[in-house]
Structure 1
Amino acid sequence: MDDILNGVLAAAGAETKGEAEAQGPLTAMIAERDQLKDQLLRALADTENMRRRSEREAANVRKYGHTPFARDLVGAIDNLARVVESAPENLDQVDETVKSLITGIQLSWTELQSVIEKHGIKRVEPLGEKFDYNLHQAMFEVPTNDQPSGMVLEVVQHGYVLHDRLLRPAMVGVSKTGDAAGTTGHDQTKTDE
């Protein structure tokens, strides 16, 4: 009877061992499949992220690629603006040749403004605005009691932006109230007494 029992147990053990050996390669293949699937998903995610980053970089190159040229151009734009501003308003009193020249310069100025705006270059017009260190460069302070402190009262040189990036800050004079403006007047009063 013991022999029969040992034989049955041996047979059962052999079947269990055979199942374990059969499941071993299957388990290994499932683990390998899961690992390869994970690697594939990561590679696809990396590829998608790279595609998006490339699209963003290409858009930035299209949008801001001409920044060095635009920086060089703003000086010439300022010079042409000064010429247009210094031209006489009443052209009836000038020679016909000079009149044609002034008209041509004004037309060129209008067209240039249209072209630079089309390409995203805008003039910073800070007069009367609150001082913003992102767009303005304070050159001096103007003592006053008429305006709150930190307001742009004078523009020495206009600034320019390309879309939302600064090309050149506007150089400005900023208001200063309180002790600076009041002290000067107060000291004079004491001196006069």
Structure 2
Amino acid sequence: MTEKDTSKKTTWEKLSTTAKQDSSRSTPKEEEISSEKKKSTPKEEEKLLKHPSYKALKFQLQEAEKQLNDTKNQLTHLEEQKIYQLAEMDNIQRRAKRDIENAHKFSLEKFINELLPIKDSLETALFHAKTKEQDAALSGIQLTLKQLEHLLEKNGVKSIEPAGQPFDAHFHEAMLAEENDEMTPNTIIRVLQKGYLLHGRLIRPALVVVAKSKEKTS
């Protein structure tokens, strides 16, 4: 190859390289057109929002949110029902336990009510025995009465002896009212018959005499 041919080849390669570089570059006009294509116009956005597929997707999303809220509300309701049922079950168990305890406590109420008149008779006999000084009878009655009182106390029976206390209709029954200057009206002067409680519940009121003011004479 001659020097002239080599020079021509070099010139041709330079022109070819320059042409390739020019073809690969985008002109400012082309870049501007490409950028405008990438930007969506308000009209295009509006058109997109009105597209049936977008509306369908939006509707599905709203339905899914609604179902989610409904599920949350159902779970909350079920949780509240669970708490209520557990509390109700606990109350039922407490009531049942209390009823069983009361049944045990007051199962002897009828028997004790039948036994109290016997105690009354013994106390009356003891009072008369003291008056007549019958020592032998007195000792026997005292022993029997103590045994009976111990048995009653063991089973939760407590006597009501309210002499000198204010009258209380919940535990006392007034049989008489007597004039008395020394005591406040409605104060119990004496007890005619003792009352009794069984585990704190009244089974027989105390029969009492209460004080009243003297009537003024004209």
What SS does the aligned partner of 1:131 have?
A: coil
Matched, 1:141 2:166: no
Q: What is the distance in 2 between the residues matched to 1:168 and 1:5?
A: 91
Q: Rg: which structure is higher?
A: 2
Match of 1:115 in 2: 151
Instruction: Using the TM superposition, give the Cα deviation of residue 18 of structure 1 relative to its aligned residue in structure 2, in angstroms.
Output: 2.7
Matched, 1:12 2:54: yes
Number of aligned pairs? 174
Measured at CA, do residues 111 and 16 of structure 1 come closer, stay the same or move farther in structure 2, by a change above 3 Å? same
Match of 2:120 in 1: 78
Match of 2:81 in 1: 39
Instruction: Using the TM superposition, give the Cα deviation of residue 5 of structure 1 relative to its aligned residue in structure 2, in angstroms.
Output: 5.9
Contact 1:120 1:162 in 2 (8 A): yes
Letter in 2 for 1:142: E
Structure 1 unaligned runs (5+)?
Answer: 92-98, 188-193
Q: What is the distance in 2 between the residues matched to 1:61 and 1:164?
A: 14
| 53-62 vs 39-48, greater mean Cα deviation | 53-62
Which of 50, 53, 69 does residue 111 from structure 2 map onto?
69
Deviations 1:48-76 (A, max 9, x none): 22122222322322333322222222111
What SS does the aligned partner of 1:128 have?
A: coil
What TM-score comes out, normalization by structure 2 length? 0.66
What SS does the aligned partner of 2:162 have?
A: coil
Match of 1:162 in 2: 198
Q: What is the distance in 2 between the residues matched to 1:5 and 1:131?
A: 92
Match of 1:48 in 2: 90
Instruction: Using the TM superposition, give the Cα deviation of residue 110 of structure 1 relative to its aligned residue in structure 2, in angstroms.
Output: 0.9
RMSD: 2.8
Q: What is the distance in 1 between the residues matched to 2:185 and 2:48?
A: 103
Q: What is the distance in 2 between the residues matched to 1:121 and 1:140?
A: 26
Q: What is the distance in 2 between the residues matched to 1:63 and 1:157?
A: 24
Deviations 1:70-107 (A, max 9, x none): 2222111111222333335563xxxxxxx3x6544432
Q: What is the distance in 2 between the residues matched to 1:25 and 1:173?
A: 77
Instruction: Using the TM superposition, give the Cα deviation of residue 20 of structure 1 relative to its aligned residue in structure 2, in angstroms.
Output: 2.4
Instruction: Using the TM superposition, give the Cα deviation of residue 113 of structure 1 relative to its aligned residue in structure 2, in angstroms.
Output: 0.7
Instruction: Using the TM superposition, give the Cα deviation of residue 115 of structure 1 relative to its aligned residue in structure 2, in angstroms.
Output: 1.4
Structure 2 unaligned runs (5+)?
Answer: 1-40
Letter in 2 for 1:160: Y
Matches within 5 A, 1:83-102: 83-87=125-129, 89=133, 91=135, 99=136
Percentage of identical aligned residues: 30
Deviations 1:7-59 (A, max 9, x none): 56424323312322333433332232222222212211211221222223223
Instruction: Using the TM superposition, give the Cα deviation of residue 167 of structure 1 relative to its aligned residue in structure 2, in angstroms.
Output: 1.7
